[in-house]
Amino acid sequence: MSERVYLDHAAGAPLLDVARGAMDEVWRLPGNPSSLHTAGRTARRLLEESRESLAECLGAHATEIVFTSGGTEANNLILLGAAGARPERPRVAIGGAEHPSVAGVVDHLPGRVDVLRLDATGRLRDGQLAVLTERTALVSVLLVNNETGVVQPLDEVLSAGRAVGAWTHTDAVQAFGHLPLDFGALELDALTVTAHKVGGPVGIGALVVRRELTLAAPGFGGGQERRVRSGTAMVALAAGFAAAARSAVDDLSQEAARLESLRTRLVSGITSQVPDVMVNGSAPISTAILNVTFRGCRADDLLLILDAAGIDCSTGSACTAGVHEPREVLLAMGRSQPDASASLRFSLGRGSSAAAIDRVLGVLPEAVVRARSAAL
């Protein structure tokens, strides 16, 4: 039986050997990093070494790294933490195609959230940033969209936020390891990353927060992470995260060029071999994500046909997948419900190869025919 083709790296990348090795070195050691004895101090040293390594990868200071359980918690911390810390600024602004961990703030801060609308390319519409005022506590915009790969104009967001004194945050989960990130040079106030998108372990992420900022803690406990996040530190996971991050940053330029070539190969093959398709999103766009509408299909049907053929892809964010519904991101871009319901995401990573792309292209045309027949 042929080896499966994995094209869902945006949901989670395979664990890198370097990350597994880093964790294996730490798992066997006892000690809580908050303890004062020798084992505790050893655990603290290992944790801080990982923090310093990750900070270096992100162009940040080690004291700006707040370890979390993942990107979702990091996003929750900055949104609720900023809103709670700045009661004189009752409003929060978010992009119109955010990850659910950001978009969900609409329900948690009812009547206080401004949603910045998108144009047909998936980027912020002209004039949307005019909604920011001296009453805005925070503006949060996804740097690379997790479903389409579209890159937002972060410099414009930063400029508009600074002009009115709003804190600026970007969810860079899908950007980390694919685009250069320099927290200090960008002059952001906060940034979110997570480990399992870059070949690190599931269960750890980080919120990078400028040293001068004080967030309101949405929970309570020991305040181990800069008094904004409580709980015993995840020393082994932090070691795996730092190792994967270092590998991703060191290989970024070479890997980005390789993935761009593979993505171009996949786009060319799909558009030339399959009729009535539409690629969603336009440049600037991530080299690792391709979202395609296969008109006349139900995306779940096509996904399952490909799955049976040994190809793993997705209908969108793994945080919302499971029940088929039109993709909110595509609807926000003005796509019709039928088109939004007929779209698949192929996301590339270190394990992707030209042979894997060719295998997908060898299976896909017939799979689309079958899916369209099933939809009749």
Residue 161 has pLDDT above 80, yes or no: yes
Average pLDDT over all residues of the chain:
94
pTM: 0.94
Residue 230: strand, helix, or coil: coil
pLDDT number for residue 172: 98
Question: Which top CATH class is 5-13+252-375?
Answer: alpha beta
Q: 181 pLDDT exceeds 60?
A: yes
pLDDT of residue 326: 54
Provide the percentage of residues in the chain whose pLDDT is more than 90: 89
Instruction: Flag whether pLDDT at 199 surpasses 60.
Output: yes
Burial class (CB in 10 A: 0-12, 13-18, 19+), 114: middle
What is the pLDDT confidence band of residue 321, given thresholds at 50, 70 and 90?
very low
| Domain extent listing, the chain | 5-13+252-375, 17-250
* Architecture category of domain 17-250 in CATH: 3-Layer(aba) Sandwich (3.40)
| Average pLDDT for 310-322 | 76
pLDDT digits (tens, 9 = 90+) for 83-101: 999 999 999 999 999 999 9
C-beta separation of 256 from 151 below 8 A? no
At 371, is the secondary structure helix, strand, or coil?
Answer: helix
pLDDT band at 327 (very low <50, low <70, confident <90, very high): confident
In angstroms, rounded to a whole number, what is the distance separating the alpha carbons of residues 331 and 340?
A: 6
Confidence of residue 318 (pLDDT cuts 50, 70, 90): low
CA dist 331 → 96, 124, 147, 253, 336 (Å): 10, 14, 12, 33, 7
Provide mean pLDDT across the span 150-156.
95
Q: Is the pLDDT of residue 320 over 90?
A: no
Residues annotated catalytic, as ranges? 319
Q: Do domains 5-13+252-375 and 17-250 have the same CATH topology?
A: no
Indicate the pLDDT class of residue 324, thresholds 50, 70 and 90.
Answer: very low
Instruction: Find the mean pLDDT for residues 136-161.
Output: 96
- pLDDT tens digits, residue range 222-278? 888 888 998 889 999 999 999 999 999 999 999 999 999 999 999 999 999 999 999
User: Could you give the 3-state DSSP secondary structure of residue 25?
Assistant: helix
Enumerate the β-bridge partners of residue 6: 312
- At residue 15, does pLDDT exceed 60? yes
pLDDT for the residue numbered 222 = 87
